[in-house]
Amino acid sequence: RGVGLEKALGQVAAAVGALGAALGAMVANLTSHKRSFERDWERYSQWAERGKACHDELLALVDRDTDAFNGIMAAVQLPKASAEEQAARAAAIEAATLEAIAVPFRTMEVSVEALVVARAMAELGNPASASDAGVGALCARAAVRGAFLNVRINLPDLADKARATRFVSDGDALVARAEALEA
């Protein structure tokens, strides 16, 4: 923990997911403006909006991840001289740890949605942009896997072990869905 790499990991996972979402939205936009696809412009516009919503949320998650990491650092530095201070510090650490898990978990969820958009664009979009949709899918899948590493690195610090177990099982399900979508 001393070098702050887990801080960078969460930010990078969200940023890579945002890149994947942007590529999916881009393919939808390019397709909607192509003459041979213009009769379905509304359909592609809806896909573009879904991708843009993912992109926007993932960019916000970059900052939320920074805030979550800073929350842990602040909680660890709380005074612990008395029993009351120790209890308050422990509660603050637990809350901050939960946030440091919840943020990358949300990155996983939104990145899976970005994969849905990328897959749709690989299947339905302009064939000339299929490689863009493919790279978008690769980015979104990497975001899911990277964010899960971030979730897992913080789980040992979570006192609520039942909740930690749920994060692992739900995270495994998101990774499996991401891999199926990418394939």
Residues 101, 158 contacting (CB under 8 angstroms): yes
14-47: pLDDT as tens digits = 999 999 999 999 999 999 877 777 788 889 999 9
Residues 28, 130 contacting (CB under 8 angstroms): no
Name the residue among 13, 135, 121, 25 with its Cα closest to residue 64: 13
Residue type at 176 in one-letter notation = A
- φ/ψ bin of 165: left (φ > 0), alpha (ψ from -120 to 50), beta (otherwise): alpha
> Which of the four pLDDT bands, split at 50, 70 and 90, describes residue 9?
confident
118-168: pLDDT as tens digits = 999 999 999 999 999 999 999 999 999 999 999 999 999 999 999 999 999
pLDDT for residue 8 is more than 50? yes
Single pTM value for the model? 0.92
Residues 116, 181 contacting (CB under 8 angstroms): yes
Look over the chain and give the mean of its residue pLDDT values, rounded to a whole number: 93
